[in-house]
Structure 1
Amino acid sequence: MCFNFLGMRHALILVGSICLLFLSTPAFAAERVVLKYGIFRESLSVEELSIFAQTGELSRSLRVNLALARQDPKAIRQYLTKPMKVNLVFLDRVLNSQIGNIILAQIIQVISTPSQRANRQALRAPLVLSASQDRQVSLIEIIKNYFTNEVEVDGDRLERAYRQLRRLQTNLQDLFGL
């Protein structure tokens, strides 16, 4: 009985959070991305990065930035767009567990708030929102759904964030038989 009550309570909190996310998304979605490669820092619009992720079309500033950083645009695009299937309820449970905190800590080294404060909370929300839209999560969705006006992305470690999302997907499958 206690387990069932806790499960219902958890589900109600999740549903309430999702409703709040949907109601507040337009006002709080990220608008700018600060893309960092070593000593290079380039601020670009989330729309600019989204167009690249969707079409492969590089803006002039993004083309220059990736060339200076000696990054392969095709690989970067793959890391940004390759989706991982997730179950929303299980994602929420894992993100609020010990293993979820470890995975979030590793992703935060790549995608973070400019102030470096409340990063775990700032990352949980876009993960859940991304999963609630289509039961999938991709790095570009996380960036687009971030709740600060600006989000910092360490381009040198983008592959690492991608691997951590894959690890999260694997953990969900292992833990819950998905």
Structure 2
Amino acid sequence: MKQWKLGLVVVLGISGLFSGRAIAAEEIILRYGILERTVAVSDLSQLAETGEATSQLQSYFDTAEVPAEEVQNMLNSDVTVDGVNINRILDNPLGDVLLDEVSKSIYPESGSAGRQAMRAALVLSAVDDDRITVIEVLENYPTSRVVLDTERLAETYEDFQEVGGVVVTVEDTLDDVLNVIRILETLSN
């Protein structure tokens, strides 16, 4: 299993190199209504880790009247999902709907290939620790600049939490079905 995870990361990394893009986002374009500011991913990572906002981030939060603690909590909120199965789960029509929904809040600056970029960011985020946080998705986003629509993010996160519960249920059901098949194969031998 670990080799598969490593292989996936290598493939995604190589595809990022050939496309001439960094494998991870360096800047986030924060949008809140008509306001727009660009911040370094490292500033958001610092906020997520320490709770301390840079002066630039604090200025943005003050303008938007959003407490830094609320943003820190949102960045660190997680959804548990199997890192090995996430790509398989996302690679179907229901997964496409989920990716499209999440891509309304976090998307490439160009506006194109949002679904594919989001799939890559989610898979890379889940593969190491079987959980996904907003900060991990931003850190793993496969374009150098990514747009984060802060107004839509809370809605999207709530939707993702609900879908995350469905994904866990689907995974459990698939595991149960596979176990029944294995038992039936054993009995038939």
TM-score, with normalisation over the residues of structure 2? Answer: 0.80
Match of 2:68 among 73, 94, 105: 73
Task: Indicate which of 135, 138, 141 corresponds to 1:146.
Answer: 141
C-alpha displacement of 1:16: 4.0
Indicate if the aligned counterparts of 2:30 and 2:150 stay in contact, CA closer than 8 A: yes
Q: 1:100 aligns with which of 89, 95, 99?
A: 95
Match of 2:146, SS? strand
Amino acid at match of 1:123: M
Match of 1:122 among 112, 117, 120: 117
CA contact (8 A) 2:31 2:150 kept: yes
Between structure 1 and structure 2, the one with the greater Rg is 2
User: Aligned partners of 2:163 and 2:126: how far apart in 1?
Assistant: 13
Q: CA RMSD in A?
A: 2.2
Q: CA deviation at 1:93?
A: 1.8
Aligned pairs for 1:28-107 within 5 A: 28-107=23-102
**Partner in structure 1 of residue 11 of structure 2:** 20
Contact 2:83 2:126 (8 Å CA) reproduced: yes
Q: How many residues align?
A: 167
The Cα shift of 1:163 comes to 1.6
Tell me how far 1:154 sits from its aligned partner. Answer: 0.5
Unaligned runs of 5+ in 1: 1-11
Work out which of the residue numbers 156, 160, 164 in structure 2 matches 1:165: 160
Q: Give the corresponding residue for 2:186.
A: none
Counterpart-to-counterpart distance in 2, 1:52 and 1:14: 28
Partners in 2 of 1:13 and 1:168 — Cα distance?
Answer: 25
- 1:22 positional shift: 5.2
| Counterpart Cα distance in 2 of 1:53 and 1:13 | 29
Question: Is residue 130–residue 137 contact of structure 1 (8 Å, CA) maintained in 2?
Answer: yes
Segments of structure 2 that go 5 or more residues without pairing to the other structure are 174-189
